[in-house]
């Protein structure tokens, strides 16, 4: 099998395509292992779907399924385009619904699925939280210092609410984010749907404009745009390498 490793804003993925739609969770565990595998936050498998350019199967590094991954959609779209599986303007099916992406060189913009509010503003453990589904559920708290990111608290909140956990700081009309991701069970360098959730929360509070630059822990610049109730997520992706495993 031939695999490609991609990085999107610090999120890394192993990607391949297959004609066979099946459970690849064990492959995800092996391939994503950073000591004995290729090493990645997640595995993406592209399979045929007669109604779309393709369908994706997405797995976290622990083998669990995820309906959606913002950075993953951008890496996946670039892979599909460069491997001749789709045109530069494509539609594909995820567990969260239809995703539209546009590839322009190494820049990819994805139209995310419609966000759904799960729980409005509430207080817990000294922070004000907001729970929204931007493809997968995300807790968001806005802080004045990202050093307030608390790993133990994030882990606790992740299991209590079965959601990813984001700490966001607004500075000079830009958003800086740190995210604890379920399935990885730790902080990652970036989370696309997490950045989208933070942007939506800040935008709803009137703290940022409808087009805003967002920076995850990797400090790579991404752009979040809100048009009506639709969110668009744009930034660079990089193919790290291609490898074959017998």
- The pLDDT, as a whole number, for residue 7 is 95
Do residues 110 and 86 touch, judged by C-beta distance below 8 A? Answer: no
Q: Convert the pLDDT of each residue in 200-236 to its tens digit.
A: 999 999 999 999 999 999 999 999 999 988 999 999 9
Domain that holds residue 14: 2-112+235-244
Residue 246 has pLDDT above 80, yes or no: no
- pLDDT, averaged across the chain: 95
Q: What are phi and psi of 160, to 5 degrees?
A: -65, -40
The answer to whether 50 is a known catalytic residue is no
Q: Are residues 135 and 187 in the same domain?
A: yes
Q: DSSP assignment of 192-242, as one string?
A: HHHHHHHHHHHHHTTSS-SEEEEE-TT---EEEEEETTEEEEEEE-EEEEE
Residue 219 burial class via C-beta count within 10 angstroms: exposed 0-12, middle 13-18, buried 19 and up:
exposed
210: annotated binding-site residue?
Answer: no
- 99 and 143 in a single domain? The answer is no
- In a shared domain, residues 56 and 18: yes
Q: Is 191 a catalytic residue?
A: yes
Pick the catalytic residue: 32, 76, 191, 198? 191
Q: Does 98 lie in the same domain as 122?
A: no
74 is in an annotated binding site: no
Do 15 and 46 touch, CB atoms closer than 8 A?
yes
Is 181 part of any known ligand binding site? yes
Q: For residue 131, what is the domain's CATH number?
A: 3.10.310.10
How much is the average pLDDT of 5-12?
92
Q: Under a CB-based contact definition with an 8 Å cutoff, are residues 94 and 67 in contact?
A: yes
Predicted confidence at residue 9, as pLDDT, reads 87
Task: Report the share of the chain in percent with pLDDT over 70.
Answer: 100
* 127 and 201 both lie in a single domain: yes
Tokens coding 118: 């799960």
Give tens-digit pLDDT for 148-179. Answer: 999 999 999 999 999 999 999 999 999 999 99
**4 labeled part of a ligand binding site:** no
| Domain total of the chain | 2
């Amino acid at each position: 099998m031939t695999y490609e490793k991609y990085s999107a804003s610090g999120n890394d993925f192993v990607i391949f395509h297959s004609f066979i739609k099946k459970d690849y969770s064990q492959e995800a565990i092996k391939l994503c292992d950073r000591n004995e595998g290729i090493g990645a936050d997640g595995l993406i498998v592209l399979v045929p779907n007669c109604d779309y350019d393709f369908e994706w199967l997405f797995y976290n590094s622990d083998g669990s399924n995820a309906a959606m991954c913002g950075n993953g959609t951008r890496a996946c779209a670039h892979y599909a385009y460069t491997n001749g599986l789709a045109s530069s303007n494509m539609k594909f099916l995820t567990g969260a619904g239809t995703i539209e992406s546009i590839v322009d060189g190494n820049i990819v913009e994805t139209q995310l699925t419609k966000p759904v509010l799960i729980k409005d503003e509430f207080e817990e453990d000294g922070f004000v939280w907001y729970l929204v589904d931007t493809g997968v559920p995300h807790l968001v708290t806005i802080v004045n210092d990202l050093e307030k990111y608390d790993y133990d608290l994030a882990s606790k909140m992740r299991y209590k609410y079965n959601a990813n956990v984001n700490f966001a700081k607004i500075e000079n009309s830009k958003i800086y984010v740190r995210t604890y991701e379920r399935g990885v069970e730790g902080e990652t360098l970036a989370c696309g749907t997490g950045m989208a959730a933070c942007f939506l929360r800040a935008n709803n509070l009137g703290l940022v404009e409808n087009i805003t630059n967002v920076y995850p822990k990797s400090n790579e610049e991404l752009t979040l745009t809100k048009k009506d109730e639709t969110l668009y997520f744009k930034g660079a992706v990089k193919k790290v390498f291609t490898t074959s495993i017998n």
